[in-house]
Every structure is written in C-alpha cells, then in structure tokens.
Amino acid sequence: MATQTKPVLHGYFRSSCSWRVRIAFALKGIEYDQVPVNLIKDGGQQRTQEYKTLNPMQQVPAVEIDGITLSQSLAVIQYLDETRPGARLLPADPKKRAHVRIISDIIASGIQPLQNLYVIQKIGAEKVQWSQHFIDRGFQALEPLLKQTAGKYCVGDEISMADICLVPQVYNAERFKVDMEQYPTIKRLNQTLLEIDAFKVSHPSNQPDTPADLRA
C-alpha cells in the first residue's frame, strides 16, 4: 500500500510519542519528512488553530500518510505495520502480540501521560517528585512482567512495539533522575536497544529541531 508521497511527521524532538513513531519509521525503512512543532515556543505551537485541525487534542505527533491524518502513536505504529512491508512491529503469535500490547499500554496509558509536558506544567514546583512517583509506579509493574516475557528484547527475540515504547520512557526516567538500578531487566533491554541503528537515528539528540546544546 505504498504511495509516491512521503509521510509527514509533525512532532517534537523530545516527545516520547513522536520518538515512538520515528523509531517505527526507521525499523520499517520508511522515508518521511518532518515538520517540527515546538511544544514550548510561543506558548506551544501545538495550540495553534492550524495545528488543531491536524490533531484536535493539540498533542504530537500527527502523521499525514496515504491521504489521511493519524494521531496517537500506537495507532500510527499499528497502521504502519498493517500497511507496510518490512520488520513486523507486532508478533504473529497471538499470545506474544497480547504481551506486546500490554507492555505498550502500560507505558502509553499508565506512565507517559502522567509525566508529559502538559501535566507537569500544571504540577509546578513538585514536577520532579510527581514524575518520579508515576514512573516508578509503572516500572514496578513492568519489571516483573518483562522478566517473564523478555528474550533479547521485550517480548522474545524480535523487536516490537513494546520496545518502541520502552526506550523513550527510559529516556524520560533518566531525565527525571529515576534510579534505574532498581529495574535491571528494563535497564538491560534499554541498553541493548540503544545500540540498534533505528533507535540511534530517531533519538532526540539527532533531530532537525534538536537545540544545539542537546545534539549528540
């Protein structure tokens, strides 16, 4: 279902959700264009009326692809998996696929929204403690689950949507000074994944909108 027009990713260099989509594009070998949406500048470019037409939730990412506009990173990843050849992002086996979705949902629903920019701006001075609390709470659930499901990667020995979700969340945990020594399985998986090209090229330190002082 490939088209002649490159997909367009509207995102922010340090957004977990944008990074997930960049990883998926890289794993699938899909060329795409990027349009930066600065979540801080001018009160947040995601709040403009123009951007709201792309994503009514005024969040990143928004992806223009195949004549439609998609939001919500997990929906984008699953669309790419269903419409593009290349590495599978969800396993063929139903049990493994269910585990991938559980891990992805714990991160995408149970951890990341509670420490994203919009929320911590509302929290104010306690934002670090708040973020640490909810990341720790999620990782305390993830660690024993991953001990059961992990091989080389989160679920067995094939990279999946679970890995795509895990790496950006660990990046956020490190930003908020979460003690990763408590989570040896998560730490091991993250270190392994960061050696893979798709995770390197999509990293926040390597994006067109990455500030000079944060570049690799």
Round to whole Å and give the CA distance between 107 and 14. 16
Confidence (pLDDT) at 1: 45
What is residue 44's three-state secondary structure? coil
Closest CA to 190 of 215, 214, 207, 173: 173
Decide if 66 contacts 3 (C-beta within 8 A).
yes
Confidence (pLDDT) at 4: 58
Q: What residue spans define the domains of the chain?
A: 8-87, 94-199
Token code pair at residue 53 = 């037409």
In this structure, the strands spanning 8-11 and 62-65 are antiparallel
Does the domain at residues 8-87 carry the CATH identifier 3.40.50.10470? no
- Bridge partners of 35, per DSSP, are 10
Decide if 34 contacts 43 (C-beta within 8 A).
no
Decide if 19 contacts 207 (C-beta within 8 A).
no
Contacts of 92 (CB under 8 A, 6+ apart): none
Rounded to an integer, what is the distance from CA 30 to the centroid of its chain?
17
Which residue type, as a one-letter code, is found at position 22? R
The DSSP call for residue 54 is: H
Confidence (pLDDT) at 184: 98
Rounded to an integer, what is the distance from CA 120 to the centroid of its chain?
18
Mean pLDDT per 10-residue run, the chain (216 residues)?
A: 77 96 98 93 86 91 96 97 96 98 98 89 91 97 98 98 98 96 98 98 96 89
Round to whole Å and give the CA distance between 40 and 12. 10
Pick the CATH number of 94-199 from 2.60.40.10, 1.10.8.50, 1.20.1050.10, 3.30.70.120: 1.20.1050.10
Confidence (pLDDT) at 192: 98
Confidence (pLDDT) at 2: 47
